[in-house]
Each structure stands twice: as C-alpha cells, then as structure tokens.
Amino acid sequence: MRSLTIVVALLFASMCAFAEGAKTCDDLKAEIAKKIEANGVKTYSLEIVAKDKETEADAKVVGTCDGGSKKIVYTRTSTPPPAPAKEASKP
C-alpha cells in the first residue's frame, strides 16, 4: 500500500511538471526575446520555423516548441528591427 502511494505521488508530480513546461511557440519566443534584450542585444530577429527547415550559417536554434515540430531561430542583424507604430492618443 505504501509503495502504491509513492508511485501515485510521483506520477502526479511528473504530470504537473509536464503541464507547466508546455508553452506555446509565441510564449517561448517572447521569453527568449526578453532574455536576449536583457543581455543588451538590440538588433536581432527570432523566427518560428518548421523543424526540418534548413537554417542559414549565421543563424542559431535557440528553442523548440509544439512538441518539437517547430524551432525558434535567432539571427543577429546589423540594422534594428522596425519599431511598432504608436497609436495616436485620443483627447
């Protein structure tokens, strides 16, 4: 009986960890971008691509998502990305 309780507890703990670890590609991309910007990098691009797509020589795979079917590719660029347009404030 005691061993059954231990097994059930371990299964429950592993299922909770698995559920917490599952993130969407967009969430993971935002988390990676935050870490990159915290390191002072301002000119870069992150792309979500299919796992089997070839990457450029200067690109680096920095994460996988959707159960490993997609990857997030980091490329350092020389020009800053375009800033999002700001909405005009309403009076």
Q: For residue 58, give the amino acid letter.
A: D
Q: What is the pLDDT of residue 18?
A: 54
Which pLDDT score, from 0 to 100, does residue 56 have?
85
Say yes or no to pLDDT of 88 above 70.
no
Q: What is the pLDDT of residues 17-66, one digit of tens each?
A: 555 556 789 999 999 999 999 999 889 999 999 999 888 888 999 999 98
Q: How many residues does the chain have?
A: 91
Q: What is the dihedral of CA 28, 32, 33, 35, to 10 degrees?
A: 140
Q: pTM for the complete prediction?
A: 0.60
- CA distances to 9, 15, 16, 18, 90 from 5, rounded to whole Å, are 6, 15, 17, 20, 61
Query: Could you tell me where the DSSP H helices lie in 1-91?
Result: 2-21, 25-38
Residue 35, pLDDT score: 94
CA dist., res. 91 & res. 84, Å (int): 22
